[in-house]
């Protein structure tokens, strides 16, 4: 039996698991502070949901989905991204939900592809969505929220790339103009784009190939072809971001792989990670999504953030990521009376809201203190025969070895004061 996890997946054991847990906790706290509420959707959906919303020609749909047929003959797909499922669930329950609807999620996504660092077949995302607000203030809020998350971790080496890809009023004309330009330049494109650009011309703009870049640089720019409302919206987003002290870099070549995006598209790109894994989070506006699902017109904006990448960026910026806090106390019992008293103390500490643990079996003091140390406990609460007889507890601060003796009845309050 091969004990390694399947390709492209991760076992998150201590201390890594604690770091991911801490990221979840921080993200949830932040999202709630901005008025978002937690949602969960199924781990798999009808394949049609992703096929319709991501675009039949997108890479996600054509080669990256984990699609299977269940025993009832249904085609199902493991969730490759978060927005379409949340929108589906929202549309299904819209009558009971407030508007605007602000949701966040912390969950795993599945995409089949060749794995490498920061690119996994199963990865974790923190995402937020706002449904029902067309105003640029919503775009600004999700970007500011995501930026605050990165900054609160101590990350600094990233840039904000932003673009507007227009909407139904201006993108079709731009698309035709771009197509005409690309047809005229076809000889200078790399092979795979010579035939592929007709289906998705915007993608050529994003190509990293030197020749394609030259073609893209001289291509007509969407930012100069926006219709009035789109231009106004884009300006509103840029102004709003600057008012929050952010300095987005307008990047006309930034496009999105998913068809339902309109207007705003953005990516936070790490400057310390290699290019293939540098996008910490990306998102944008998707005013066409609800209708693509057969619902009413519901504007929306949001982002998805790759949490493994955030951890990688912390490492490469030399930042200690947050972790699960260690124990408040490790209870050490010695001798029969001491162990009995220690068991009672352990119950009391836990009931009092403190994190506490103890050895299960009788062990020498030395071994118990080592366990306390390994558990990352702030204090060892030692109850030997003498302490048990006197109704007292010796509290040893593990960081520096200083000890205090406290009456048994005061231990919980005393330790609370030390937190």
Task: Identify residues 59-118 at the interface with RNA (CB under 7 A).
Answer: 59-60, 63-64, 81, 109, 111, 113-118
Select the residue interacting with RNA from 403, 404, 413, 418 (CB under 7 A).
403
Q: Of 92-100, 285-293, 321-329, 362-370, which part binds RNA (CB under 7 A)?
A: 362-370
Binding mask 177-196 for RNA (x = CB under 7 A): ---------------x----
CB of 73 to RNA, least distance (A): 25
Q: Of 95-103, 178-186, 384-392, 409-417, which part binds RNA (CB under 7 A)?
A: 384-392
Selection from 291, 170, 288 nearest residue 232 by Cα: 170
Q: Of 66-74, 155-163, 251-259, 348-356, which part binds RNA (CB under 7 A)?
A: 251-259
Binding status of residue 357 toward RNA by CB under 7 A? no
Instruction: Tell which phi-psi region holds residue 376, choosing left (phi > 0), alpha (psi between -120 and 50) or beta.
Output: left
Binding mask 21-50 for RNA (x = CB under 7 A): ------------------------------
Binders of RNA among 107-166, rule CB under 7 A? 109, 111, 113-120, 123, 125
Select the residue interacting with RNA from 76, 178, 207, 411 (CB under 7 A).
207
CB of 60 to RNA, least distance (A): 6
Binding status of residue 258 toward RNA by CB under 7 A? yes
Binders of RNA among 308-327, rule CB under 7 A? 308-309
The 3-state secondary structure of the chain reads CCCCCCCCCCCCCCCHHHHHHHHHHHHHHHHHHCCCEECCCCCEEEHHHHHHHHCCCCHHHHHCCCEEECCCCCEEEECCCCHHHHHHHHHHCHHHCCCCEEEEEEEEEECCCCCECCECCEEEEEEEEEECCCCHHHHHHHHHHHHHHHHHHCCCCEEEEEEECCCCCCHHHHHHHHHHHHHHCHHHCCHHHHHHCCCCCHHHHCCCCHHHHHHHHCCCCHHHCCCHHHHHHHHHHHHHHHHCCCCCEECCCCCCCCCCCEEEEEEEEECCCCHHHCEEEEEEECCCHHHHCCCCCCCEEEEEEEHHHHHHHHHHHCCCCCCCCCCCEEEEECHHHHHHHHHHHHHHHHHCCCCEEECCCCCCHHHHHHHHHHCCCCEEEEECHHHHHHCEEEEEECCCCCEEEEEHHHHHHHHHHHC
Binders of RNA among 268-307, rule CB under 7 A? 274-282, 304-306
Binding status of residue 366 toward RNA by CB under 7 A? yes
Total binding residues for RNA by CB under 7 A?
A: 73
Binding status of residue 407 toward RNA by CB under 7 A? no
* CB-CB contact of 226 with 175 (8 Å): no
CB of 108 to RNA, least distance (A): 10
Binding status of residue 171 toward RNA by CB under 7 A? no
CB of 98 to RNA, least distance (A): 26
Pick between residue 84 and residue 226 the one whose CB is nearest to RNA: 84
Binding status of residue 2 toward RNA by CB under 7 A? yes
Binding status of residue 52 toward RNA by CB under 7 A? no
CB of 13 to RNA, least distance (A): 10
Pick between residue 152 and residue 239 the one whose CB is nearest to RNA: 152
Pick between residue 37 and residue 370 the one whose CB is nearest to RNA: 370
């Amino acid at each position: 039996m091969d004990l390694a996890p399947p390709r492209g997946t991760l076992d998150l054991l201590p201390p890594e698991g604690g770091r991911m847990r801490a990221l979840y906790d921080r993200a949830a706290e932040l999202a709630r502070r901005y008025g978002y509420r937690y949602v969960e959707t199924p781990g798999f959906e009808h394949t049609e949901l992703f096929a319709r919303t991501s675009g039949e020609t997108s890479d996600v749909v054509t080669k990256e989905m984990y699609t299977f047929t269940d025993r009832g003959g249904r085609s199902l797909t493991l969730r490759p991204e978060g927005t379409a499922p949340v929108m589906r669930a929202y549309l299904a329950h819209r009558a009971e939900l407030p508007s605007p609807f602000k949701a966040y999620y912390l969950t795993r996504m599945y995409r089949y592809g060749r794995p490498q660092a920061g690119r996994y077949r199963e990865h974790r995302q923190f995402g937020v969505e706002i449904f029902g607000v067309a105003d640029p203030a919503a775009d600004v809020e999700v970007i500011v929220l995501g930026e605050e998350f990165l900054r609160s971790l101590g990350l600094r080496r990233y840039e904000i790339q932003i673009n507007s890809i227009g909407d139904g009023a201006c993108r079709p004309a731009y698309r035709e103009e771009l197509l005409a330009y690309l047809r005229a330049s076809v000889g200078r494109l790399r092979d795979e784009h010579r035939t592929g650009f007709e289906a998705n011309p915007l993608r050529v703009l994003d190509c990293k190939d030197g020749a394609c870049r030259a073609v893209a640089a001289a291509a007509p720019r969407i930012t100069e072809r926006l219709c009035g409302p789109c231009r106004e919206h884009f300006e509103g987003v840029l102004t709003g971001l600057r008012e929050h002290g952010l300095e987005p870099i307008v990047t006309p070549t930034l496009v999105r792989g998913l068809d339902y995006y309109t207007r705003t598209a953005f990516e936070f790109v790490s400057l310390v990670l290699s290019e293939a894994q540098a996008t910490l989070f990306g998102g944008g506006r998707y005013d066409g999504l609800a209708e693509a699902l057969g619902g009413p017109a519901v504007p929306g904006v949001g982002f998805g953030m790759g949490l493994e990448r955030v951890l990688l960026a912390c490492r490469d910026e030399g930042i200690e990521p947050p972790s699960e806090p260690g124990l408040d106390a490790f209870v050490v019992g010695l001798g029969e009376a001491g162990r009995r008293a220690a068991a009672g103390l352990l119950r009391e500490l836990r009931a009092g809201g403190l994190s506490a643990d103890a050895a299960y079996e009788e062990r020498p003091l030395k071994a118990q203190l080592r366990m306390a140390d390994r558990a990352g406990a702030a204090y060892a609460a030692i109850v030997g025969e003498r302490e048990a007889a006197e109704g007292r507890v010796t509290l040893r601060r593990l960081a520096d070895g200083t000890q205090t003796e406290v009456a048994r009845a005061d231990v919980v309050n005393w330790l609370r004061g030390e937190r």
